[in-house]
Amino acid sequence: MSVTMYQASIPVFQKMLGNLSGILSKAAEYAETRGIAPSALLATRLFADMFPLLRQVQLASDFAKGAGARLAGIDSPVFPDTETTFAELQERLTKTQDFLASLTPDQINGSEDRPISFKIHDMEFNFTGIGFLTGFATPNFYFHLTTAYAILRMSGLDVGKKDFVGSI
């Protein structure tokens, strides 16, 4: 039995964004119980030249919805990066999940060879669907997801691998 493009993408993004939502809930509670300003936690970075927690979550959302849209051959919803609170980040994750849930297997399956081209700043990217999913979208999604987790772990949040991976 082979894995479909849908199975390799949408449910994976949905599960991991759900796990991120759970971690962010714990982070909001942690900030409240420890008397930490949520804005300070959201501005925390692993290193000076890296994006803060807030931006890491936005980018995880962007890579998930962008991947789903590009694989489906449709426009990705645009979410302005205006979040400043844990609650607003949760709303963004909910909107991302709602978009992903709207995508059907029929829209995604068969996209292995679909040409996917886009620009980021002055760089142009050209992929097939499978190359895009496995070599660009998924690695970038996991990079930002992992960095968000690492920022919170470094900040003292009591989370572990089970929080990141979720139930199996």
pLDDT value at position 26? Answer: 98
Residue 15 lies inside a defined structural domain of this protein: yes
Residue 72 to residue 136: CA distance in whole angstroms? 16
Would you give the DSSP letter of residue 133? I
Residue 86 lies inside a defined structural domain of this protein: yes
Residue 53 lies inside a defined structural domain of this protein: yes
Q: Residue 168: is its pLDDT beyond 80?
A: no
Average pLDDT over residues 27-42: 97
Residue 130 to residue 161: CA distance in whole angstroms? 28
pLDDT in tens, 117-148: 999 899 999 999 999 999 999 999 999 999 99
In the chain, % of residues over pLDDT 90 = 98
pLDDT value at position 25? Answer: 98
Q: Residue 1: is its pLDDT beyond 80?
A: no
Which of these, 32, 59, 25, 26, lies nearest to 147 by C-alpha position?
Answer: 59
Cβ-count burial 137-165 (b if 16+ within 10 Å, e if not): bbebbeebbebbbebbeebebebeeebbe
Residue 44 lies inside a defined structural domain of this protein: yes
Residue 137 lies inside a defined structural domain of this protein: yes
Side chain identity at 16, as an amino acid letter? M
Kindly indicate the confidence band of residue 38, based on its pLDDT and cuts at 50, 70 and 90: very high
pTM of the model: 0.96
The answer to whether the beta carbons of residues 5 and 110 sit under 8 Å apart is yes
Residue 66 to residue 60: CA distance in whole angstroms? 10
Q: Residue 112: is its pLDDT beyond 90?
A: yes
The answer to whether the beta carbons of residues 61 and 17 sit under 8 Å apart is yes
The CATH number for 101's domain is 1.20.120.450
pLDDT in tens, 74-84: 999 999 999 99
Average pLDDT over residues 22-36: 97
Give the count of domains, the chain. 1
Residue 121 lies inside a defined structural domain of this protein: no
Average pLDDT over residues 60-72: 98
Residue 122 lies inside a defined structural domain of this protein: no
Range of the domain at 74: 5-116+127-165
Residue 146 lies inside a defined structural domain of this protein: yes
DSSP-based helix, strand, coil % in the chain, nearest 5: 65, 5, 30
The answer to whether the beta carbons of residues 97 and 22 sit under 8 Å apart is no
